[in-house]
Amino acid sequence: MVTSADLLAAALRYAELGYRVFPCVPNGKSPLTAHGFHDAVTDAEQIARWWSQHPLANVGIAAKGLLVVDVDGKDNPWPGDPDRSADLAGAGAIATTPRGGRHYLFRRPAGKGWKCSTGQVAPGVDIRTDGGYIVAAPSVTADGVYAWGPDLELHDAPGALPEPPVWLAECLDRASEPRTLASASGSGNTIPMGQRNATLARLAGLMRRIGMTREEIAAGISRANQDRCEPPLSGVEVARIAASIARYSPDAVTVAFVESHYEQMFAESPVDDDDPEPEDPGPVPDRLLRVPGFVEEVAAYNLATAPYPEPVLAFTGALVLQGVLAGRKVRDGMGNRTNLYVLNLADSGVGKDHARKVNAEVLLAAGQADRLGTSFASGEGIEDALFAQPVTLFQVDEIDGLLLRVSQAKDARHEAIVSMLLQMYTSASSVYVMRARAGRPRAHIAQPSLSLFGTAVPDQFYDALTARLASNGFLARLLVVECRERGEGRDDVAARLPESVVAAARWWAEFRPGGNLAAEHPDPVTVPVTPEALEAFAALRVGFDQAYKASRDARDQAGMSVWARAYEKSRRLALIYACSENRERPMIGIAAAEWAGAFALHQTRRMLYMLRRHASDGEFDLKRKRLIDVLDRWRSRHGDAWMPFWKVSRSLPWPPREHDELREVLVEQRLIEARGANEGNRGRPGLVYRLLTPTPKASSGGEE
């Protein structure tokens, strides 16, 4: 177990060697100091003061003068060549990261204009140098511990570290060549001497990622070798590269997308009334609650400062915030934008307000506080708010009340609110024409960007679900995510907003791709998509279309509505991923496409499961499902034991007549069994219930 003494001793030792250190949040990677890594020092007294204030702070090292190669994931095949792997083994120090990645430390050669980058050298390979930092051993995160490799500890001063190998320096030189935001392209370029092994290894890595065999990889790179390498490598060398890369495991998600495993991924979505309950994919798994860059930093700050840390709220709040900052400034080739509608289902006391406060704090620090909207009063109020500020974030609690009133059709005002939200979502890539006013010409809003970060109590949200609400299009546009149970509280969680977060938010605030007229006539930059990501998107679209057609054939209106929007959600999510990962030169790569596809797929399947379980066609149907849910929860805790009626009625305080009617219907349908009921003794303590329907698969929100 890593102690506070271990962390302080490591920080002092690094400083003594000449490395500038600073504290990061406990169990996280965000700086604790006002100016982040810019505050890093070698002064032992200052370091001691920092760690006396924050004994469990992780250790950050400013990367000025260094070149740190950060390889993500234990299965990352880069550099894909044994000789080059041997070159990297000659680094001045090598550390393993909590997620199984590696840090290689080199000295930055004089005169090199390299910059920090994410994924430019190769997929999953980041560069940290001037303007960046790393978290160093023995720091701890929720995923594990940073540790130096055996006999690979950091013993040398920065100036004594070796320089990176020549092939890596050449790769960094190419990556640092000027590029415009939308200029990236892919073509069959010539592969010159000095780059042949690494390029063919990267191509082979992509092939292996999608599940190709050693023989298929060898055939593919052999053709690339003959057509593009100058001069071509020997056949023996090409075969060696293929054999080396084939040792790694394919990526399961990518294989499923590319090979159209849709009978596995989509089959349980549309079902008819005689089919069994669809399989429950469970709450969103932890592996999907990570987007590198800005989103990850904001989420880490949220968790470090929350009285009751909640990872889902921290992540979704940061995700929506990135979408707001990039609103009306970027788009993808299909015209998708970054505004999201997110609804978090969280019980009272979980800490819903903290994520809203963090978003407000970041926008205020960036001079963008005017982008915060208040609660929904009316459809016209939403329209007026977007006219005053075309990029607006509405952070709204208790959305379940709005949905309940819409589902009951008791107030046309609430129906108008939902209708306006639908129109704004659809108008994000076009022009919204405002309502006519007496004596005034019709105004318009060019490309309005309305984002929604809402919260609701789960039971109340499920009570609001009706077949009518499920098919009107609003739920289909929502990302509905369920939060974890309330965690352990803590005191003394004050920390300053990391300077890196503030700098990123201000960068977006100052980024005006349309010039001075951007506010009235936005001209968003088109973020390029890599060929690999396009292939993943194409496969994803096929799967979503198949699921939609199956819902149509089953006359499942709710399924049709939800699947129809799933692909659009995935494209919006991938665009936000790219903006978070590299704001200055965003590019939608394979990692963004795969994460966005997996997130959209999981969310869609979970929503359909919850609709099937909770959505009702009327008040009687709603009560029927609530009674079954109460019995299901009882069985999850007590097995096949009978549930006393007095406990049922305490959970569902309905009139005895309604309980009698429900019991008779459910017993007749063989959904429950009841015993102990005698004529003239209805509802007395002797009555007990037991559920007969299958219990859905147990699931948790942890790593899958």
Q: Rounded to whole angstroms, how far apart are CA atoms 528 and 337?
A: 13
What's the confidence (pLDDT) of residue 160? Answer: 94
Phi, psi (deg, nearest 5) at residue 466: -135, 160
Task: Tell me the C-alpha distance between 552 and 677, whole Å.
Answer: 44
- The full length of the chain comes to 704
Q: Where are the beta strands (DSSP E) in 116-204?
A: 117-122, 125-128, 133-136, 140-141, 144-145, 147-148, 191-192
Map 383-416 to HEC letters.
HHHHHHCCEEEEEECCHHHHHHHHHHCCCHHHHH
Ordered DSSP codes for 64-107: TTEEEEEE-STT--TT--HHHHHHHTTSSEEEE-TTS-EEEEEE
- Give the pLDDT score at 683: 45
Long-range interactions of 251-256: CB distance < 8 A, separation 24+: 251/209, 251/210, 251/594, 253/594, 253/597, 253/598, 254/209, 254/210, 254/211, 254/536, 254/590, 254/594, 255/210, 255/211
- Structural contact between residues 258 and 538, judged by C-beta atoms closer than 8 angstroms: no
* Contacting residues for 31 by C-beta, under 8 A, at least 6 apart: 22, 23, 24, 25, 37, 39, 60, 133, 498, 499, 500
pLDDT confidence of residue 407: 58
What does pLDDT average to in each consecutive run of 10 residues of the chain (704 residues)?
92 96 88 84 95 92 95 85 89 93 94 83 87 93 90 93 93 68 48 82 84 87 86 85 83 54 42 48 88 94 92 96 96 94 89 92 95 82 91 87 63 74 89 77 88 87 67 81 84 82 95 74 90 87 86 81 92 97 94 93 88 65 78 87 90 85 80 70 68 52 36
Strand order of the β-sheet with 117-122 is 117-122, 125-128, 66-71, 102-107, 93-96, 147-148
Secondary structure letter of residue 672 according to DSSP: E
What CA–CA distance (Å, rounded) separates 256 from 279? 18
**How far is Cα 73 from Cα 125, in angstroms, rounded to an integer?**
9
Alpha-carbon torsion angle 180, 184, 189, 192, nearest 10: 60
Buried/exposed code over 601-638 (b: 16+ C-beta within 10 A; e: otherwise): bbbbbbbbbbbbbbbbeeeeebbbbbbbbbbeebbeee
CA distance readout (Å), 73 to 30, 322, 442: 20, 25, 54
| Predicted local confidence at residue 573, as pLDDT | 97
DSSP alpha helix (H) spans, 430-527 = 458-464, 467-471, 474-477, 499-510
How many whole angstroms separate alpha carbon 129 and alpha carbon 106? 10
Q: Which of 358, 371, 372, 361 is nearest to 300 (CA)?
A: 358
**Is the pTM value of this prediction over 0.85?**
no
* Structural domains of the chain in order of their starting residue, each with its CATH number: 4-175 (3.30.2250), 191-250 (no CATH), 265-614 (3.40.50), 622-691 (1.10.10)
Return the pLDDT at 277: 47
Give whole-number Cα distances, 45 to 3, 15, 48, 138, 155, in Å. Answer: 20, 11, 5, 20, 22
Helix%, strand%, coil% for the chain, nearest 5 = 45, 15, 40
Tokens of 416: 């108008």
Q: What is the DSSP string of 46-58?
A: HHHHHHHHSTTPE
Rounded-to-integer distance, Cα 332 and Cα 185, Å? 14
Residue indicated by tokens 């060697």: 17
pLDDT of residue 82: 86
Token pair of 562 as six digits: 């939800």
Judge whether 324 and 508 are in contact, CB under 8 Å: no
Q: Tell me the DSSP string of 550-580.
A: HHHHTT-HHHHHHHHHHHHHHHHHHHHHHHH
Q: Using alpha carbons, list the distances in angstroms from residue 404 to 61, 407, 408.
A: 52, 5, 6
Q: Which two tokens stand for residue 557?
A: 């209106």
Q: Which of 615, 597, 599, 598 is nearest to 559 (CA)?
A: 615
Q: What per-residue confidence (pLDDT) applies to 499?
A: 93
What is the H or E stretch that residue 378 is in? none
Name the strand (E) or helix (H) holding 224: helix 214-228
Q: Which residues contact 446 (CB under 8 A, 6 or more apart)?
A: 390, 431, 520, 521, 522
